[in-house]
Amino acid sequence: MVGQGPGRRARRENGDGADHEPRHGGGRALESFSASFAALGDLALAGGQVSASVSDLDSGADLLSVDEHLALPVGHLGTVLLLIEVAARIEDGTLRPLDELERPGEPGDQGPGGVWSYLRRTHLPLTDAATLVGAFRDGAAVDALIARVGLAAVRARGESLGLTRTALLDVTRTSRGPDDAPALAVGSAHELAGVMVSLARGEVVDRAVSNRVLGWLSLGADTSLVAAPFGLDPLGHRRLDHDLQVVHVTGTEAGVRSEAGVLRGPRRSVAYCVVVTFDDLTLAHRLRVLEALRAVGVDALEYVH
């Protein structure tokens, strides 16, 4: 079922064929994702903004759509475009895997997260930096890769993929002033979930580029959001575990929690993206967001397993 655009009236269809009015701006869900739909709707009622898209990887059927075309800050989800540009340049020979990158700044300059700023080595091979981005959202590695390929090239790559609402805007920063980009990256759940579908099918540039990017993302250690209910080892889920495998990327900034990925199970596979922006005023506000994201994970797990 195709989700409606933001601002339109939308309906949730239950298994009995009855339609029910939603509690947010626009969306639609199969009965198997009704809990996700309700949880995300509650966030919207509480003042958050939500963009979500879940689809069956094989059939392409829409399973959950909530304002999926709405562009929101997405945190480090935008670094997927950076990794695509790096992989494409490695495959066409304009970059070499062992080209050395210099670590920018001092520890903590890129904000929380990552490990390179705390290592003694100030230079790393290009593919090691990309690995740190895929595994740990490493801010120093993100900035080093941006310095090598340039933001303009990353934006052009996104445009070549047909992305109109998704872009990497800036380097990582501990704080943003009036002269800085308002966010590290922006995007819509529809476009970012679509990127994950194309990567899984080997259609981003070509099979070699897609596989290289998927290899980096398969190391993603943050399983605190949508992937939390999957029960996988955060530091070791590249292989099948109880017939499950996830390749994903998460994004965080102040008041932003987001995740995009592909979950494969014994029965079916899904591609998904969920983005939530909210007032991070109290721990209770944040935990409510995490609970909603994990509700999506529970529904996805039940669908594929």
Q: What does the pLDDT look like over 10-25, one tens digit per residue?
A: 333 333 333 334 444 5
Predicted pLDDT at 3: 33
Number of other CB atoms surrounding residue 106 within 10 Å: 9
What value does the CA radius of gyration of the chain take, rounded to a whole number of Å?
19
**pLDDT, averaged across the chain:** 90
pLDDT given at position 174: 82
**Predicted pLDDT at 13:** 39
Banded pLDDT at 27 (limits 50, 70, 90): confident
Q: Percentage of residues in the chain with pLDDT exceeding 90? A: 81
**pLDDT at site 73:** 97
Residue 141 has pLDDT above 50, yes or no: yes
Residue 222 has pLDDT above 90, yes or no: yes
Residue pLDDT, tens place only, 208-218: 999 999 999 99
Dihedral of CA 196/51/38/48: which sign?
A: positive
Instruction: Say yes or no to pLDDT of 223 above 50.
Output: yes
CB-based contact 247:220 (threshold 8 Å): yes
Arithmetic mean of pLDDT, 112-122 = 85
| Residue 238 domain boundaries | 12-304
pLDDT of residue 247: 98
pLDDT tens figures, 175-214: 888 888 999 999 999 999 999 999 999 999 999 999 999 9
Q: What is the pLDDT of residue 107?
A: 58
Residue 19 belongs to a domain? yes
Residue of higher predicted confidence among 6 and 117: 117
- What average pLDDT does the segment 63-84 reach? 97
Residues across the chain: 305
Q: Compute the distance between CA of residue 105 and CA of residue 147 in angstroms, rounded to an integer.
A: 12
Most confident of 15-19, 104-108, 120-124, 267-271: 267-271
Confirm whether 5 is domain-assigned. no
Strands (E), 166-300: 167-168, 185-187, 245-253, 256-264, 269-277
Q: Is residue 140 part of a domain?
A: yes
C-alpha to C-alpha distance for 81 and 76, rounded to whole angstroms: 10
Domain presence at residue 194: yes
> Is the pLDDT reported for residue 113 higher than 80?
no
- Checking if the pLDDT of 26 tops 80, the result is no
| DSSP characters over 13-54 | E-TTS-EE--SSSSEEE-GGGHHHHHHHHHHHHTT-EEEEEE
Q: What is the CATH number of the domain that holds 101?
A: 3.40.710.10
Percent of residues, the chain, with pLDDT higher than 70: 88
Question: Is position 3 within any domain?
Answer: no
pLDDT at 4 over 70: no
pLDDT in tens, 224-244: 999 999 999 999 999 999 999
Neighbours of 151 (CB within 10 A): 18
- Which residue bears the tokens 């993302």? 217
How many domains are contained in the chain?
1
77 part of a folded domain: yes
pLDDT of residue 82: 98
Q: How confident is the model at residue 155 (pLDDT cuts 50, 70, 90)?
A: very high
Query: Are the CB atoms for 129 and 101 separated by under 8 Å?
Result: yes
Q: Please give the pLDDT value at position 31.
A: 82
What pLDDT score does 177 carry?
86
Confirm whether 21 is domain-assigned: yes
pLDDT at res. 8: 28
How much is the pLDDT for 111? 57
What pLDDT does 105 receive? 74
1 belongs to a structural domain: no
